[in-house]
Structure 1
């Protein structure tokens, strides 16, 4: 297997490789709508609906010329940023050219499953794009997980790989990364959904960027954020929503009350997905959220890795 390479030296990129003027106008329009959604994540679903209604090119043109009423002083900062930026340029073709230089490809919203409700996603890795329409199992948990949870999550990753199932991860610390490592050790296929630009994630210092590179060898890294966008609470929330819409099964290994993994599980349940929970000690804060969800019958209890036979 060869590890995909992401270009970090601008001088190494052939400037004639992609001419922004040659980019398909419809794809560029979807990319521009993706940019608008990155600036204001709350607009992701409405922008997809607008494009479905009037076409991506017309929707991008309308958004590029859009200015909210007034001077914007009373608007949230993100909407002020959208006002200031989208009225000055139409960057879709340039975004696609920059992404191509970094080996990142863009899948427009009209090529995604309808349930995703996004203007598009940015993808990196040697895995086929068809993985995004393949049944997957998300294994999630606390970012400050216990040794017990890491062991269970790793076992789930190995088991899913041995079953030939696609593992979905949120690319976070703790239980999610333990599951991802388990799947990779067993040579499984993975899809990792991130809440920041893929180039940003791959250039980060530390072990996580190396884990992402390994996951991209036979799988995919996916983000709703165009290249260059850093993480934020809203963008991480959108990534969680993507997981709930993509993975048919969601397993929460360990989560305290209020943990983002529980929000993903709740969204999946609302979309008629299958939600599973691993019970933990009744005196463990990290297990309180999962235990409560099991008690309320919002999760099916898992007591063994073999219980998740799909």
Structure 2
């Protein structure tokens, strides 16, 4: 590999280089890019350690970590691959860049790769429906009912493309004829999980696949965890259907609450380990109870989003008080 001696003038190219050299959510890289721009940040990384008086400091440690990974040729190849697979590369300077990402501050993605309609990332009303990979029959049924209802109201269903609750939510939205967005932990030319190849193809046709890692990047535990902050930022409201006490889904809910999003959780049997995390969210006051799609509609209204079907105050009050009324039974059966 030829040693890099100067930074590119192209901000897109510089951001792709940094996306390869840094992990998602890297605070130091994000802060430098926000302060100086991507090209200048690459140039800072090329300065000899300690040459600018930063020896031993955070920037110096960052430079030692990032500079060996900077590769302009690889970044150019990534741009070619992006075009070959029919994806779009979005950066904050692009008109289709979702402004919701700005809430992440220095932890925001350096770029987003999108396969499908990027406009769905900036929908007026979107609902993150997330939960356990090892979903129970109960959880799958409820997730499908909620996603079906959300899609029927013209809202975008956002999830992570994983097995379990994520997949159920995506499929229910597609069956209802609505768009859905899958935030993936790996590159769009190496779709993960591979068992969802056909599902991802369907999502890309009417919705969007999105990733913050460049072509050829593989999923890691860190990247799986970090995609949660993107799901939280893109969603007007987040609903946890099932989650164990140590589920990474709980961190997504906590981040959504920190961003000021409305968070809901579906109650389950008190004997079910798959619902223990959801119950904890409700007990700790992070999430409100969600039992039907109208609960989600009211969450969106409080969030200032614009759901397709508006509840009047009288109707909303009546629905809240009628806790004994049956849940929705329309939509795909499970």
- TM norm structure 2: 0.76
Give a deviation string over 1:269-307, Cα, whole Å, max 9, x none.
011111000000111111001012112211010122332
Structure 1 residues 1-310: aligned runs within 5 Å: 25-37=10-22, 40-43=23-26, 45-63=27-45, 82-86=66-70, 89=72, 91-111=74-94, 112=97, 113=99, 114-116=102-104, 117-125=108-116, 127=117, 129-134=118-123, 135-201=125-191, 205-206=194-195, 208-309=196-297, 310=300
Q: Report the 3-state secondary structure (helix = DSSP H, G, I; strand = E; otherwise coil) of the residue aligned with 1:168.
A: strand
CA distance in 2, matches of 1:296, 1:306: 23
Give a deviation string over 1:117-141, Cα, whole Å, max 9, x none.
221111112x2x2222223110001
CA RMSD of aligned residues (A): 2.4
Q: 1:56 to 1:84 in 2, by over 3 A?
A: closer
- Could you say which structure has the larger radius of gyration? 2
CA distance in 2, matches of 1:226, 1:30: 10
Q: Report the 3-state secondary structure (helix = DSSP H, G, I; strand = E; otherwise coil) of the residue aligned with 2:86.
A: coil
1:225 positional shift: 0.7
CA distance in 2, matches of 1:187, 1:160: 11
- Contact 1:256-1:286 within 8 A present in 2 as well: yes
Partner of 2:311: none
Q: 1:297 to 1:218 in 2, by over 3 A?
A: same
Q: 1:98 to 1:218 in 2, by over 3 A?
A: same
Partner of 2:305: none
CA distance in 2, matches of 1:190, 1:220: 7
1:91 positional shift: 3.7
CA distance in 2, matches of 1:64, 1:197: 26
Deviates more, 1:252-261 or 1:100-109: 100-109
- Contact 1:137-1:168 within 8 A present in 2 as well: yes
- Contact 2:147-2:173 within 8 A present in 1 as well: yes
- Contact 1:196-1:225 within 8 A present in 2 as well: yes
Q: Report the 3-state secondary structure (helix = DSSP H, G, I; strand = E; otherwise coil) of the residue aligned with 1:138.
A: strand
CA distance in 2, matches of 1:98, 1:198: 10
CA distance in 2, matches of 1:46, 1:58: 14
Structure 2, unpaired ranges of 5+: 1-7, 301-334
Give a deviation string over 1:207-259, Cα, whole Å, max 9, x none.
x1111111110111001110111110111111111111111200000101011
CA distance in 2, matches of 1:144, 1:265: 18
Q: 1:80 to 1:148 in 2, by over 3 A?
A: farther
- Contact 2:240-2:249 within 8 A present in 1 as well: yes
1:102 positional shift: 1.8
Q: 1:156 to 1:64 in 2, by over 3 A?
A: farther
CA distance in 2, matches of 1:63, 1:234: 23
CA distance in 2, matches of 1:85, 1:145: 39
CA distance in 2, matches of 1:194, 1:150: 20
- Contact 1:168-1:192 within 8 A present in 2 as well: yes
1:147 positional shift: 0.4
1:180 positional shift: 0.6
